[in-house]
Amino acid sequence: MEEWTKVLLVGVNLNNDPDFERNLSELEALAEACQMKVVGVERQNLSQVNTGVYVGTGKVEEIKALAHMLEAEMVIFDNSLSPMQLRNLNEIIERPVLDRTNLILQIFSSRARTREAQIQVETARLQYELPRLTGMGLVLSRQGGGSSGGLANKGAGEKKLELDKRKIRHRISELKKELKEIELHRETQRKRRISQGIPQVALVGYTNAGKSTLMNAFLDTYGGEEEKKVGAQDMLFATLDTTVRRICLPDKKEFLLSDTVGFIDKLPHHLVQAFHSTLEEVKYADLLLEVVDYSNPHFKDHMAVTRETLKELGADDIPCIHVLNKCDGILEDIPRGGDHAIYMAAGKGIGIDLLMEMIRQEIFRDYVNCTMLIPYTEGALISYFNENASVDQVEYTAEGTKISMNCLWKDLQKYKEYVIF
């Protein structure tokens, strides 16, 4: 087993932030998700940050001493640090210093599996690193004399710094070009799915709420193939890659279920930008399932973050069912549902059927009951309805095949000449 890195966490409570302790606990979970062992937590209350080192100057020396005493190999701040603050803290503490953004980027880098996710994460990482490229003080030489343009008047260190920045900008440009091609392919797939008229349902919610577990539970219950299951672990950001699965019901109705990257409070701006094309999938859904970890004491805060993120994506007006998950051991009378909410436990398979019934009521509104009398010369149409409708009864008469079924409204309109009641 790989040895975990020992880390010291630092949190600054600005102006008595009511979410301070929650965010600090979340930082610890993020560190653990990155195979880091938290050996200590240092806190400081401030009314404003120190522009040079973020915390108070005396506190920096305390952090340095504590990191040494606890043998911490790294120090992680639960705040976004400026390039100057990061450089100064690294020099004073004499250990690698990360901020929350950098930590999340590291987790994303280790979890990206598909080429699309890898490109998105690398783009975000490079955009984060670009303004943080520095000469590291002693390593790079000062600017040389001369007045010519370009890099001619720069010292060796500055030349290297400029070249590094150019390389990063060029790499970002290449990645964005490749991502654009993937987005075009995704758009083509999306248009094809929409043209098929199959309803689309998207799983959304805070990270580690149980979205992937719920998708696997649906696949288990409704005959999904084992290899179609997605990875589901009890950790933050276990799933990064958006996956789409077709859920086929016993009455031949079907819908597409997509699993998206989880949301988190203070999600780095670079990551929101990088994953925008992936997250946009939710905008095209007919129904959202907002999965909530009901066992988490901060679940209401998580729901607020989810709603805010959906608003940013322009998806806050899509019909939504609130799936209050992990209720086993907390509530006795589960599953229960109503008013666009359900209390259940996907990991135990509790509430899957009830949730499916709620989904049906939302996405299959366009289905109607009817009876058609179809001439024997239109045998292909009978085959079509056997595959695309829920057939209740078939009767062979002298005039043709009488078929009673529950079919799409658009099919009823398309073949209304055969409708008898």
- Indicate which CATH number applies to the domain containing 203: 3.40.50.300
The residues pairing with 268 across neighbouring beta strands, listed in sequence order, are none
CATH of the domain at 13: 3.40.50.11060
Q: Do 177 and 210 fall within a single domain?
A: no
Full residue range of the structural domain in which residue 127 is found: 113-182
- CA dihedral (43, 44, 45, 49) positive or negative: negative
141 and 70 share one domain = no
* Phi (first) and psi of residue 386, to 5 degrees: -65, -30
Instruction: Look at 270-274, 293-297, 303-307, 390-394 and tell me which has the smallest mean pLDDT.
Output: 270-274
Q: Smallest Cα–Cα separation from 374: which of 343, 351, 341, 405?
A: 405
Whether 217 and 247 have beta carbons less than 8 Å apart is answered as no
Q: What is the mean pLDDT of the chain?
A: 84
Measured CA to CA, the distance from residue 205 to residue 293 in angstroms comes to 9
CA 88 to chain centre: 33
Confirm whether 193 is domain-assigned: no
- Evaluate if residue 256 carries a pLDDT over 70: yes
Tell whether 239 and 289 lie within a shared domain. yes
The widest CA-to-CA distance across the chain, in whole angstroms, is 101
pLDDT digits (tens, 9 = 90+) for 83-93: 899 999 999 99
Return the amino acid letter for 165: K
User: How far, in Å, CA of 396 to CA of 402, rounded?
Assistant: 6
Q: Is residue 190 part of a domain?
A: no
pLDDT at 195: 65
Q: Which residue has the higher pLDDT, 306 or 263?
A: 306
Tell me: do 353 and 209 sit in the same domain.
Answer: yes
CA atoms of 245 and 255, how far apart (whole Å): 8
Answer yes or no: is pLDDT of 218 > 80: yes
| Within a domain: 63 | yes
Q: Does 133 share its domain with 176?
A: yes
With 50 as the cut, is the pLDDT of residue 8 above it? yes
Distance (Å, whole) CA 216 – CA 377: 43
Q: What average pLDDT does this structure show over 327-350?
A: 92
pLDDT of residue 91: 92
Q: Which of 53-57, 101-105, 342-346 has the lowest mean pLDDT?
A: 101-105
Predicted TM-score (pTM) of this structure: 0.74
Query: Any idea of the CA torsion for 275, 281, 284, 285, to the nearest 10 degrees?
Result: -130
**Which of the residue ranges 267-281, 317-331, 385-399 would you say has the lowest mean pLDDT?**
267-281
31, 9 Cβ separation under 8 angstroms: yes
pLDDT digits (tens, 9 = 90+) for 143-186: 444 444 444 444 454 566 777 888 989 999 999 899 888 878 87
> 48 and 152: one domain?
no
Four-point Cα dihedral 46, 48, 52, 58, nearest 10? -20
**Quick one: 160 and 44 in the same domain?**
no
Most confident of 40-54, 122-136, 258-272: 40-54
Say which CATH number the domain at 408 has: 3.30.70
Residue bearing tokens 């009951």: 369
- For residue 389, pLDDT over 90 is answered with no
Q: Tell me, yes or no, whether 334 and 414 share the same domain.
A: no
Q: Which of 108, 132, 159 is the last residue of a domain?
A: 108
Mean pLDDT throughout 298-315?
Answer: 88
Q: 232 pLDDT exceeds 60?
A: no
* DSSP bridge pairs for 74: 7
In a domain, 393, yes or no: yes
Q: Is the dihedral of CA 406, 407, 410, 411 positive or negative?
A: negative
223 in a domain, yes or no? yes
Rounded to whole angstroms, the Cα distance separating 195 from 202 reads: 18
Listed residue (246, 242, 245, 285) closest to 262, CA to CA: 242
Q: Whole-angstrom Cα distance, residue 292 to residue 39?
A: 30
- The mean per-residue pLDDT over the stretch 239-258 comes to 81
- For the chain, give the number of residues: 421
**Could you tell me if residue 174 is inside a domain?**
yes
Q: Is 53 in the same domain as 93?
A: yes
Query: Is residue 189 in a domain?
Result: no
Same domain for 222 and 161? no
Q: CA 396: distance to chain centroid?
A: 52
Number of domains present in the structure of the chain: 4
Q: Which residue has the higher pLDDT, 279 or 230?
A: 279
Residues 217 and 264 in one domain: yes
Q: Are residues 16 and 128 in the same domain?
A: no
Average of per-residue pLDDT across 349-372 = 92
Question: 341-343 and 320-325: which strand pairing?
Answer: parallel
Q: Is residue 188 part of a domain?
A: no
Q: What single-letter amino acid sits at 105?
A: L
* Nearest partner of 271 among 133, 170, 123, 132, judged by Cα: 123
